Structure 1
């Protein structure tokens, strides 16, 4: 299956090469605020609010971008800055994405080893108002004390009415040093305008040291 997907992606790149050479890159910006920055079920801000923003550049199926948020790990770390890139295509009605991202932390204590690179593969398919998807992430030198880490997620989104979307995801994180855990979320998004949306979401994970939480966020895209 991996070989088939790789070949299909290569054919898509080859076939689109001439068009991409003449196309102009598209640039998109996003800016938002959330009541709590939650990543895979765990708060990255100690339960406090976060200001977030990013920029994405795309050309054909290729994309690259950067995104940042304030964080609070109980030490001197101030912010997370992500750099990422990848390729998106469609094969037999499935939307596919392959890419990698680097996560970098500003003012992290010496020896914390927070910075890491993660690789990803995603697939999704829309059937009427419902979109189902799956994703696999892997890092060879994960955040903090862990080295190899993998995260697998299944997700679903449903559009019941114009401007509304209900979505959820369940995933499992495998770690080689820290304890493995499962995480899930469920929420609703409402588009206030074509460029502004609000999201309310419930997050939980099977870690007795972490609490379930509800977050609210406002995001502008332009």
Structure 2
């Protein structure tokens, strides 16, 4: 399942146009289209592996307008283990965001998480976040879930239904030598099972922009509840935008 970025590969970084090039592109055409591809040694989403601690190949296509509107799609292989036959995740998303002043900005998002070869696993959420300088905080609310009727489903599997809330905060800092540091934390408040599924997680990433060769990252994630896999996860990633 996809993180909040809107794209799930945001944690491994992405290439960005310079401010001058971006302003020039806006002057010529308010519309822009980009594609991205990435490889990760473990697909982590909100602290939990989506590939049974194995590698994933991911990619997406994005549209953006100078007004702040954006939309796109993103896909990744997944493996939920224990005989689950779900093979891939397909996300569809749209959003709107903008700057309030030089230090503050906001973003609104709508994401649909689809698992076409799974049964009753799709869900959708709406999110809002704000950024002040290098700190971003936000919340996402699940307003639709195919698994809303969780009768007969084990407590540890009945996640992502209407009413779930996810809170998150992150900080991003530029370092010397074209390095960047990102630290993050989140808390999942599940509606089902009266809090028995709720958990907190945290992590950090160090990434480096290698120009035409993309962006490379070293990452750490961990969950803070022993009813889940609470072992620390260390993984590497590569991402490139076109």
Same fold (TM over 0.5): yes
Is the 8 Å Cα contact of residues 142 and 148 (structure 1) preserved in structure 2? no
Q: Distance in 2 between matches of 1:162 and 1:123?
A: 28
In the alignment, the residues of structure 2 paired with residue 68 and residue 34 of structure 1 have an alpha-carbon distance, to the nearest angstrom, of 13
Q: Secondary structure at the match of 2:175?
A: coil
Report the equivalent of 2:140.
Answer: 137
Rounded Cα–Cα distance in structure 2 between residues aligned with 1:190 and 1:81: 27
Contact 1:96 1:124 in 2 (8 A): yes
Within a 5 Å distance, the mapping from 1:162-181 to structure 2 comes to: 162-178=177-193, 179-181=197-199
Structure 2 length as normaliser, TM-score?
A: 0.76
Q: What is the aligned counterpart of 2:104 among 83, 94, 99? A: 94
The equivalent of 1:80 in structure 2 is 89
Pairing of 1:1-222 with structure 2 (within 5 A): 23-60=29-66, 61-74=68-81, 75-92=84-101, 93-109=103-119, 113-126=120-133, 131-142=134-145, 144=147, 145=158, 146-178=161-193, 179-194=197-212, 196-208=214-226, 209-210=228-229, 211-222=231-242
Superposed CA offset, 1:89-138 (max 9, x none): 111331111120100003103xxx21011101111122xxxx11111111
Does structure 2 retain, via aligned residues, the 8 Å contact 1:89–1:95? Answer: yes
Give the CA deviation at 1:140.
Answer: 2.1
Q: 2:185 & 2:65 partners in 1: Cα distance?
A: 31
**Superposition deviation, residue 220 in structure 1:** 0.8
In structure 2, do the counterparts of structure 1 residues 118 and 45 end up closer, same or farther at CA, with 3 Å as the change threshold? same
Instruction: State the TM-score, normalized to the length of structure 1.
Output: 0.83
Q: 1:176 to 1:45 in 2, by over 3 A?
A: same
Partners of 1:158 and 1:32 in 2: CA distance = 22
**Alignment gaps of 5+ in structure 2:** 1-25, 148-157
Q: Secondary structure at the match of 1:185?
A: strand
Contact 1:147-1:177 at 8 Å conserved across structures: no
SS of match in other structure, 2:85? coil
More relative contact order in 1 or in 2 (CA 8 Å, sep 6+)? 2
Q: Quick one: distance in 2 between partners of 1:139 and 1:104?
A: 13
Provide Cα deviations, 1:46-95, integer angstroms capped at 9, x if missing partner. 00000000011011111000000000013111100000001111113311
Q: Which has the higher strand share?
A: 1
